[in-house]
Amino acid sequence: MLTMSVCVFVMTKTTKHVLIAIAVFLGLGILTTLWAVHEILSPNFHPDQKAYIYIRPETNEAAILDQLRTNGRARSLVGWKLLRMIVGCTPRTGRYAIEPDDATLTVLRRLRNGQQEPVQLTLPSIRRLHRLAGLLSQKLMLDSATVADAFSDSCFAAQWGYTCSTLPALFIPNTYEIYWNTPLETFMQRMQRENKRFWESEGRDAAAKALGLSREEVITLASIVDEETAYTPEKPRIAGVYLNRLKQQMPLQADPTVKFATGNDTLRRILGHHLRLQSPYNTYINKGLPPGPIRIPSVAGIDAVLRAERHDFLYFCAKEDFSGSHNFARNFAEHKQNARRYQRALNTRGIK
């Protein structure tokens, strides 16, 4: 009986220890589970305002964690690491938003499902396509050198129905929603659709046809008008001057085309030796329009050509007060008087 009592006592004592151990284990498991759920589902990112992380094909886990910490101001990355171990997914390339108080699971789902937020891409009226290439590389997952090389490749331009000289005519200044990881080919397809939509709206194609000009010719003339003045109300009148000269088969004699031919966009004064420059863009020695636009023109410049003012002016010259507006003349004698006043003003200011 004594032996039996001892066994019962030992078994009872052992059972208690086992039960306590199991209870502790289960308790720790529950606490661990609750802690993990908290790390995954509770607000974890606290940027001052909406932030973004960028995933390239070569972006590794360490770089992602660094962006989550720096851009997203993550409170903890434990939940992220736990989910990555459980889910084991590879985030898709793209630009992803992190909102204040986002949970770890919310952000991971965005990356796993490719739920990007599009970029607001503003294409401005800009000189030289290599500058456009630089702008695209700042806004999209594109390499500026690769884009610039494509823009100067005649085969690439021909693929979209242009030459290297006329390619700027494809791009219509506007703000477009586009995904950050959009390939160059997809971007060009989008620009082609936007170009078509632009010309087929507001009677632009019909207006160009009435002028006897192609879309590219309208864009080319608009680029000259934009370079001549930033004063929008005067653009239709300047466009009218150039259209009058084209009708009379007079050289356009547009200083901006000469400036473009020199390759020096900082040039402030066109001198005699510039006017003798042998270039298809020198409209002092070549009649008609130059081979292509000298910039991506503004919509205001394009519409100024399509709705050009009807008049009999053949000349214009910047006003001597440097207001940005111009003096217009119907004959060369009047124009020479206007030009002398402007030249004197330039000399007075020491502009070379």
Q: Is 122 helix (H, G, I), strand (E, B) or coil?
A: strand
- Distances from the Cα of 265 to the Cαs of 217, 251, 257, 262, 270, in angstroms? 22, 22, 11, 8, 12
Flag whether 344 is in a domain.
Answer: no
Judge whether 228 lies within some domain: yes
| Angle at CA of residue 291, ends 318 and 133, nearest 5° | 90
Assigned domain for 287 exists: yes
Asked if 279 and 298 sit in the same domain, the reply is yes
Instruction: Note whether residue 332 is domain-resident.
Output: no
Which residue segment(s) compose the domain that 272 sits in?
204-311
Q: Report DSSP state, residue 95.
A: E
Q: Is 160 within a domain?
A: yes
Query: Residue 255 CB: number of other CB atoms within 10 A?
Result: 20
Q: How far is CA 30 from CA 81, 104, 135, 248, in A?
A: 20, 20, 53, 90
Per-residue pLDDT 10s for the chain (352 aa) are 444 444 444 445 555 544 454 554 445 557 666 666 777 888 888 999 999 999 999 999 999 999 999 999 989 888 888 888 877 667 889 999 999 999 988 998 898 889 999 999 999 999 999 999 999 999 999 999 999 999 999 999 999 999 999 999 999 999 999 999 999 999 999 999 999 999 999 999 999 999 999 999 999 999 999 999 999 999 999 999 999 999 999 999 999 999 999 999 888 888 889 889 999 999 999 999 999 999 999 999 999 999 999 999 999 988 888 888 899 999 999 998 988 998 888 888 776 5
> pTM value?
0.84
Question: Are 100 and 123 contained in the same domain?
Answer: no
Q: Answer left, alpha or beta for residue 280, where phi above 0 means left and psi between -120 and 50 means alpha.
A: alpha
Domain boundary among 113, 142, 166: 113
Q: Tell me, what DSSP letter sits at residue 213?
A: -
